[in-house]
Structure 1
Amino acid sequence: MKYKVLIVDDEPDMLSTCAAALSKDGYQVFLENRSPVALEKLKAQNFDLLVTDIKMPKLSGIELLKAAKEMDPAFPVLLITAFPELDSALEALRAGALDYLLKPFHPEDFASKIRRALREKQLGEENRLLARHVSREYAPVEVIGRSPAILRVLDMADRVAATPADVLILGESGTGKELIARRLHLRSGRRGRFIPVDCGAIPENLLENEFFGHEKGAYTDASRAAQGLMELADGGTFFLDEVCELPGSLQAKLLRALQEKQFRRVGGAEIRSVDVRIVTATNKDIEQEIKAGRFREDLFYRLNVISLRLPPLRERAEDVSLLAQHYLPKIAKEMRRPVTRLDDSAVEILAHYSWPGNIRELQNVLRKSVVVCEGDTLKATDLPEFLVTNSNGMEKGTENFFSLRASFEKEYLESLLKKHGGNVKTTAETARLPLSNLYWYLKKHQINPQSFR
């Protein structure tokens, strides 16, 4: 990216000195010795930095600084002067100048201040944009669970993480799709940022601007240029959550950007190159969306190099207790309550509920329960009434399912241990279970392998 620097000074020799000092940095340098003309250029063009002398005829550097700040309060301005007056320096800094440089100066000192100013500008833009998009209620990368269903997903995710393949994550709302996306990024070796965006949360008319950024003057309120999320993700991972919510017009532009690894900002002509890994997620039947004409088939094939399907919580009931124990202290701290543990009755009820809202619903139930809990132990009586009612028999089918499954697990493992003379390793291999999982089931059903030897 070539930064555009406007330098204003009524002395042509000083302009030449400044331009020479920046000749090796690859900037687009614009020189102007008339401050009123410089102001018109600021209004008409998109610059990344203004460098201006303070004392000039017609329009002073301070006035130019104030005019630039009226157009964009975040616009960086560096002032230079041959008059080392404390009052003018203080006035410049109060007006928002980034720095102040006395003439004569060494060319390298000047170039160094320019580099620092542009670096601070870039970091400021990134931080402003990131602040709107990376805030998440829970953003740990650890995926909690030891059920075979989730372990299969984690194994596949870890195998594809280090490859450049784009990944499509499928699963119901609240199953933890963003956690898997973050895990893929952290284990990929990519040094850039993880940039998430919820495609369904941004108004359609703003999506293109959010994705690709804009140039100054691209629309009425575009007083300065801004990077888009794809640009911020350069060298890293761009995570598009609820990708099926993208409108058709943006699907086409996204496909082109992914195929060419290039894009243009809104209102711009410059082609910008990016190196991003795309991870997408949806809770919809994406193939049905294609049949209905709401999602492009060619974009689907571009995104679906590798697909991971996250199981709903009802298919990994043995993980409910682990998840509850994991989130409880975080939620208790958030709600400023002294709750530190769950008693067995609460765990039993949580494990027997079907969780249509998945992990997000579990977190919400824990919040409600923590608020009403008295003491440090969350009990069954603290849980929402609908949860207790369902567990006690309103949904007999659910209760019978869990009871039958528990009976099957116990009888199945006991028969294998008997067959293999209590050999735990051979039993795990026959059951196709990781050894740690088998030990968990043995503990759950209070089975002692030694009694089969």
Structure 2
Amino acid sequence: MSHCPILVLEDDQAQRTLLTQILAEAGHPVEGVATAEQADKALAQGHWQLLLSDWKLAEGDAAELIQSARQRYPTLGIIVATAYGSIAHAVSAIQLGADDYLAKPFQRQELMLAIDKVSRARRLREDNAALSAQLSEQERLVDLVGHSAPMQRVYQRIQRISQVAATVLIQGESGTGKELAARALHKLSPRRGPFIAVNCGAIPESLAESELFGAEKGAYTGAHQTIVGKIEASSGGTLFLDEIGELPLELQTRLLRVLQEGCITRLGSSEERKVDLRVIAATHQDLANAVADGRFREDLYYRLNVIPLAMPPLRERPEDIPALVNCLLTRSAQRHKLTPPELTPAQLKALMDCPWPGNVRELANAVERLVLLGELELSPLPANPGNAPLLPSEGIQWEVLEQRYLQAALERAEGNRSEAARLLGLGYKAFLYRAEKYGLT
């Protein structure tokens, strides 16, 4: 039996002396106290692993102490002993959080056995708590998968800057996980408020001001009630401004004031409201070039770029692709209630050799198609966007274009669907799926 520090609460001095002597002789560090108040102070000051408490005390019973100790020290072992032993007392003690119950008078061997039993339960709770802490740490960085050197640098930077309140500017190509990094920063931080994400490029310019700063009732046509803006709603937490480069210049000025003074004014109001928030901004653009072109305020750029965080593109960490694929396969299969397919070595090599211009988002789409269709389809887009086909200024009708190519492939292959699929670089099942979609089968 391992020796553990034990705190003894016994209001009878003779009994207290006897118990502490027995436990000390057994090799346990031990201290005896006479009241629940003294026990409470000792638990707060020391590193006790086990509490041996009398149930009936001069000022009442130990119920309140047991309940409080269990809540404050979840791994503490607790044994209750009393000369007034009864089933009712035993049930009450266990319900309040005690691990075991001894009825006086008890033998030395009974006490030792109870201590051994409760010590094992305490160690199990400690192991579970440690495991939960590890899992919690992993969940905080959920979706940031990879052990490559570039990702290790990302993890180290996130861990290092999560505890401070400075503004962070996350830069990286589309699909590299900028929002996931922002969420990890928030979850690792001491801020217990909400994480609110705003895509600056997706808000209509006419609504952007009220969306961010809020509006009083009647501030504009259609404002039938007061609107709390995203900035105000994220007070106490983190505001994530995705695609910050798309924010209109007028609102850039107002955002700069929020960062400088920590207050906002709702649309239609003159009242300033204090906000306590951390701002994390993200962009796939080169903001320095945007500043040079006059599309982004220089002073706001420097306010945002206090701590830069660069997200590496997938082509710079191909060794992370197997782990990413396994994770994405499992999640996609669970989402669609399907069995995840087994990847062949050739398929995995194809995935690792692909340049992935769309990064993890593109990989996730390819994996989802694999789960749904059973065929691995890789994007035909080149790694170098400069070599991409020109898109007409008026745009295209994608479904019309796709149907024409499918029809043309079938005509050239003289109706041979396998050959038509080969001409289009599609798997056979993927070709059938698309052909059936347009009634070409």
Q: What TM-score do you get using the length of structure 1 for normalisation?
A: 0.52
* Structure 1 residue 142: Cα displacement: 4.0
Distance in 2 (CA, whole Å) between partners of 1:190 and 1:363 is: 31
CA distance in 2, matches of 1:190, 1:201: 27
Q: Which amino acid aligns with 1:383?
A: L
Q: Which residue of 2 aligns with 1:300?
A: 301
Q: Distance in 2 between matches of 1:218 and 1:146?
A: 51
Q: Could you tell me which residue of structure 2 aligns to residue 216 of structure 1?
A: 217
Residue number in structure 2 paired with 1:207: 208
Measured against aligned partners, the alpha-carbon deviations of 1:393-414 in whole angstroms (never above 9, x if no partner) come to: xxxxxxxxxxxxxxxxxxxxxx
Residues 284-299 of structure 1 correspond to what in structure 2 (within 5 A)? 284-299=285-300
Deviations 1:79-108 (Å, cap 9, x if unpaired)? Answer: xxxxxxxxxxxxxxxxxxxxxxxxxxxxxx
Which whole-Å deviations, capped at 9, do the CAs of 1:225-251 have from their partners, x for residues lacking one?
011101110010000000000010000
Q: Deviations over 1:303-343 (max 9, x none)?
A: 11100111100000000111111111111222332225423
Matched-pair contact (CA < 8 Å) for 1:353–1:390: no
Partners in 2 of 1:385 and 1:317 — Cα distance? 15
Matches within 5 A, 1:107-146: 141-146=142-147
Contact 2:195 2:239 in 1 (8 A): yes
Question: 2:384 matched to 1:384?
Answer: no
Query: 1:367 Cα shift?
Result: 1.5
Residue correspondences, number: 246
User: Is the CA contact (8 Å cut-off) linking 1:167 and 1:278 kept in structure 2?
Assistant: yes
| Other-structure match for 1:244 | 245
Deviation of 1:224 (Å): 1.0
RMSD of aligned Cα (Å) = 2.2
Alignment of 1:271-350 (within 5 A): 271-350=272-351
Structure 1: which 5+ residue stretches go unaligned?
1-137, 374-381, 392-453
Distance (whole Å) between structure 2 residues aligned to residue 284 and residue 343 of structure 1: 37
In the TM superposition, what is the alpha-carbon distance from 1:199 to its structure 2 partner?
A: 0.5
Select the structure of larger CA radius of gyration: 2
Is the CA contact (8 Å cut-off) linking 1:172 and 1:283 kept in structure 2? yes
Matches within 5 A, 1:372-451: 372-373=373-374, 382-384=375-377
2:254 equivalent to 1:253: yes
Q: What is the rounded CA distance, in whole Å, between the counterparts of 1:211 and 1:258 in structure 2? A: 13
The CA distance in 2 between the partners of 1:366 and 1:252, in whole Å, is 42
Give the Cα separation in 2 of the matches to 1:167 and 1:314. Answer: 24
| 1:265 aligns to 2:266 (yes or no) | yes
Partner residue, 2:75: none
How far the C-alpha of 1:157 sits from its partner, in A, is 1.3
2-structure distance, mates of 1:318, 1:349: 13
Give the Å deviation of 1:299: 0.2
How many Å separate the matches in 2 of 1:223 and 1:384?
49
Cα distance in 2 for residues equivalent to 1:349 and 1:323: 14
Q: Aligned partner of 1:147: which letter? A: S
Matches within 5 A, 1:77-226: 141-226=142-227
Task: Give the drift of 1:348.
Answer: 1.2
Residue by residue over 1:278-309, the C-alpha shift from the partner in whole angstroms, topping out at 9 and shown as x without a partner, is 00000011100000000000001111110011
State the one-letter code of the partner of 2:223: A
- Give the distance between the partners of 1:285 and 1:347, measured in 2 at CA: 33
* Structure 2 CA distance for partners of 1:191 and 1:277, relative to 1, 3 Å: same
Tell me the distance in 2 between the aligned counterparts of 1:331 and 1:141. Answer: 15
Give distance in 1, aligned partners of 2:297 and 2:351.
Answer: 40
Aligned residues of 2:314 and 2:360 also touching (Cα < 8 A): yes
Q: Which SS does the other structure have where 1:272 is aligned?
A: strand
Cα offsets for 1:177-218 (capped at 9, x unmatched):
001100110111101000001100111111111101110101
Structure 2 counterpart SS, 1:342 = coil
CA distance in 1, matches of 2:177, 2:293: 27
Aligned equivalents of 1:151 and 1:139: distance in 2? 15
- Aligned counterparts of 1:329 and 1:220: Cα–Cα separation in 2: 48
CA-CA distance at 1:370 after TM superposition = 1.4
CA-CA distance at 1:363 after TM superposition: 0.7
Deviation at 1:344, TM superposition (A): 2.3
1:268 deviation in Å? 1.1
Q: What is the rounded CA distance, in whole Å, between the counterparts of 2:379 and 2:222 in structure 1?
A: 50
Tell me the alpha carbon deviations over residues 356-393 of structure 1, each in whole angstroms, 9 at most, x when there is no partner: 000000011111121111xxxxxxxx211667x999xx
**C-alpha distance in 1 between matches for 2:289 and 2:237:** 30
Task: Please tell me the residue identity of whatever aligns with 1:240.
Answer: L
Match of 1:360 in 2: 361
Matches of 2:267 and 2:193 in 1, distance apart? 23
Equivalent pair of 1:139/1:179 in contact (CA under 8 Å): no
Q: Residue 213 of structure 2 contacts residue 264 of structure 2 at CA under 8 Å; is this kept in 1?
A: yes
**Structure 2 spans left out of the alignment, 5+ residues:** 1-138, 384-441
Asked if the contact 1:144/1:319 (under 8 Å) is kept, the reply is: yes
Compared CA separation, residues 231 and 319, structure 1 to 2 (3 A): same
Q: Distance in 2 between matches of 1:304 and 1:280?
A: 9
**What is the deviation of 1:256?**
0.8
